[in-house]
């Protein structure tokens, strides 16, 4: 049950059992529109895709120089070399 349906149920409840002044206060607090749906849960695959994209971008930014790309990402040259092999990135 989403927020919007809860609001509708609450409003219908207030209409059934009126309390003077309460509905006006609820109207003031109620948001104009429903919030967006929650984001997808973070999975291992999503993290790996993000990491691969970050490495690719760092390599592009540093014209393929692994040491500079690693420094940009806060890792060692050895670590970025391992990740390049892991993600099968062609240089």
Chain centre to alpha carbon of residue 42: 8
The model carries a pTM of 0.55
Domain coordinates in residue numbering, the chain:
1-38, 44-86
Indicate the CATH number of 44-86 among 2.60.40, 1.10.10, 3.30.450, 3.30.1490.
1.10.10
- What string of DSSP letters covers 6-60? HHHHHHHHHHHS--TTHHHHHHHHS-SSPPPPPPPPP-HHHHHHHHHHHHHHHHH
- Amino acid 46: pLDDT: 86
Cα distance between residue 80 and residue 74, in whole Å: 10
Structure confidence by residue, pLDDT tens digits, 9-50: 556 655 665 555 555 555 555 555 666 777 777 787 888 999
The separation between the first and the last C-alpha atoms of the chain, rounded to the nearest angstrom, is 49
pLDDT(78) > 80: yes
Mean of pLDDT values over 56-63? 97
């Amino acid at each position: 049950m989403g927020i919007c349906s809860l609001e509708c149920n609450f409003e219908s409840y207030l209409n059934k059992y009126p309390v003077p002044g309460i509905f006006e206060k609820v109207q003031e607090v109620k948001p104009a529109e429903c919030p967006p749906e929650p984001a997808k849960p973070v999975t291992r695959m999503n993290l790996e895709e993000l990491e691969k994209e970050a490495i690719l971008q760092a390599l592009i930014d540093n014209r393929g120089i692994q040491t500079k790309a690693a420094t940009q990402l806060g890792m060692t040259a050895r670590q970025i070399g391992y990740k390049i092999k892991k993600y099968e990135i062609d240089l």
